[in-house]
Amino acid sequence: MKYGEAGIPILSLLTSIVGAVIVALLAIFLSRYSIIVKIFSFIGMARMVIMYLHMLVKFYFTMKIVPSETYFVHILCGIVISLVAYVVMSSIKFTRKYFLGNSKPVHDTD
């Protein structure tokens, strides 16, 4: 939509609806497997840390420390390092309270 490029209006609307239905069906299918639910639940709890740190990690670590031409490596490093930062922040009371907004540890739901 940048620069007024809205695409084909009817086709864009139908594609959005079909995409949403596919994501919903995929979520229903994957909810049967508890290990996948636990992985996505953990990533969901860390979503804000991932959102704010992944670009910093991508530009600093992957461009300066681990230069790679593969974009997949950049994405993987951004997510993994952000998840490690989340685990560290959630394990320390001060950072958990002031950076994550939780005064108590988040308990794993089984």
pLDDT tens string 23-53:
999 999 999 999 999 988 888 888 888 888 8
| Residue 110: predicted pLDDT | 45
Cβ–Cβ contacts within 10 Å for residue 50, how many?
19
| Residue 108: predicted pLDDT | 53
16 and 41 housed in the same domain: no
23 and 46 housed in the same domain: no
Q: Compute CA distances 43 → 10, 47, 70, 100, whole Å.
A: 34, 6, 23, 14
pLDDT tens string 74-110:
788 888 888 999 999 888 888 888 888 876 766 554 4
18 and 49 housed in the same domain: no
Residue 15's domain comprises 1-32
CB environment 66-75: b (16+ within 10 A), e (fewer): eeeeeeeebe
60 and 19 housed in the same domain: no
11 and 54 housed in the same domain: no
pLDDT bracket for residue 2 (50, 70, 90)? low
Give every CB contact of residue 57 below 8 A, 6+ residues apart in sequence: 77, 78, 81, 82
